Amino acid sequence: MRLFIAIELPDEIKKQLEGMRTHIPGSRWVPLEQIHLTLAFLGEVDDATLDLLTWALATIKATGFNLCFSGIGCFPDRRRPRVLWVGLEPEPLLNSLAFLVREAVLACNIPQEERPFSPHITLARLKFPPPREVGAFLDQPRKQELPPVGVREFTLFQSLLTSQGAVHTPVKTFAFSPP
């Protein structure tokens, strides 16, 4: 099973993020139902490892926090943008959750990239080098404030690759223990 771990966002927020779309040639906008905040990408995981993983994730003790949205940005940089995203204000409890998730994943012998966790919500992926519309998108003034989102759980997702694109299905949700 191809898996990743993410924080789900309320439908209202996903609608507002979807509303930020503009016309950019060669862009693939993330469909509303697939907008999420990735904590870890796992790739293919076998059934035995999945059992181990769900056990390891269930032992995570995390504290609830609020996600506060910040500006729009891109990866890897403005000269060669491939991914357009909305960023998040620094939140130590989010970083701590991502760290605990990463430790649990590594403990199951699932390899993880070395690069540091850089919290973002992907809005679009670009197929070819930046048309001038990308600059306009990145420089747009903020039209509306996105309200903060309370986070009390995270979700293990399956990502099934189909000819129509990826289909994401929640496998298991892990609620933070009450304070």
Q: How far is the CB of 122 from ligand 2AM (least distance, A)?
A: 3
Beta bridge partners of 6: 38, 155
Picking from 88, 69, 59, 58, the residue whose alpha carbon sits closest to that of residue 143 is 69
Please tell me whether residue 159 binds ligand 2AM under the rule CB under 6 A: yes
Decide if 4 contacts 161 (C-beta within 8 A). Answer: no
137 binds ligand 2AM (CB under 6 A): no
Looking at residue 142, its amino acid is R
One residue of 104, 122, 151, 155 binding ligand 2AM per CB under 6 A? 122
Nearest distance from C-beta of residue 159 to ligand 2AM, angstroms: 5
Which residues are CB-neighbours of 97 under 8 A, at least 6 positions away? 39, 60, 62, 65, 151, 154
* Burial class for 162, CB neighbours closer than 10 Å (0-12, 13-18, 19+): exposed
> 120 an active-site residue?
yes
Instruction: State yes or no: residue 4 binds ligand 2AM (CB under 6 A).
Output: yes
Ranges within 34-53 binding ligand 2AM (CB under 6 A):
38, 41
Instruction: By CB under 6 A, tell whether 155 contacts ligand 2AM.
Output: no
Query: Which one of the listed residues 37, 120, 137, 154 is annotated catalytic?
Result: 120
Residues that bind ligand 2AM (CB under 6 A): 4, 38, 41, 122, 159
